[in-house]
């Protein structure tokens, strides 16, 4: 994916993804933006519904429910209860982990 290396910023944005679809696949700019937006809307929708999202060769996004627990304000030291909440976790696939290690020259 040498076209990703030419991006100016360290973060890959939705706008940059749409531009890559436009440049590399030939979709028009509107279609590219709509496709990226639709992908992320679907991803968010599934996670909000409590469903896991599995992207083959990339990884899994999972919803986890964290139990309530005691916490403290780091500034004041005051005890504060932390309420139960749902969080998204990401687990990279072994294929993605391997590619990252190979790119880093490790392993």
Please state, as a whole number, how many other Cβ atoms lie within 10 Å of the Cβ of residue 99.
Answer: 15
Fold: same for 1-51 and 52-107 = yes
Q: Alpha helix locations (H) across 1-107?
A: 2-5, 14-20, 29-48, 94-104
The domain ranges of the chain are 1-51, 52-107
Q: Please tell me the distance from the alpha carbon of residue 101 to that of residue 13, in angstroms, as a whole number.
A: 23
Residue 5 pLDDT class (50, 70, 90 cuts) = low
CATH 3.40.1170.10 holds for 52-107: no
For residue range 7-66, what is the model confidence (pLDDT) as tens digits? 456 889 999 999 999 999 888 999 999 999 999 999 999 999 999 999 999 999 999 999
CATH 1.10.3720.10 holds for 1-51: no
pTM given for the model:
0.74
């Amino acid at each position: 994916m040498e076209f990703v290396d030419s991006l100016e910023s360290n973060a890959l944005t939705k706008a940059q993804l749409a531009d890559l679809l436009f440049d590399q696949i030939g979709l028009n700019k509107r279609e590219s933006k709509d496709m990226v937006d639709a992908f992320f809307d679907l991803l968010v929708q599934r996670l909000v519904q409590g469903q896991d999202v599995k992207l083959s060769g990339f990884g899994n996004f999972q919803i986890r429910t964290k139990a309530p627990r005691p916490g403290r304000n780091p500034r004041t030291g005051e005890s504060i209860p932390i309420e139960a909440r749902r969080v998204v976790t990401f687990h990279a696939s072994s294929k993605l982990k391997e590619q990252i290690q190979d790119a880093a020259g490790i392993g």
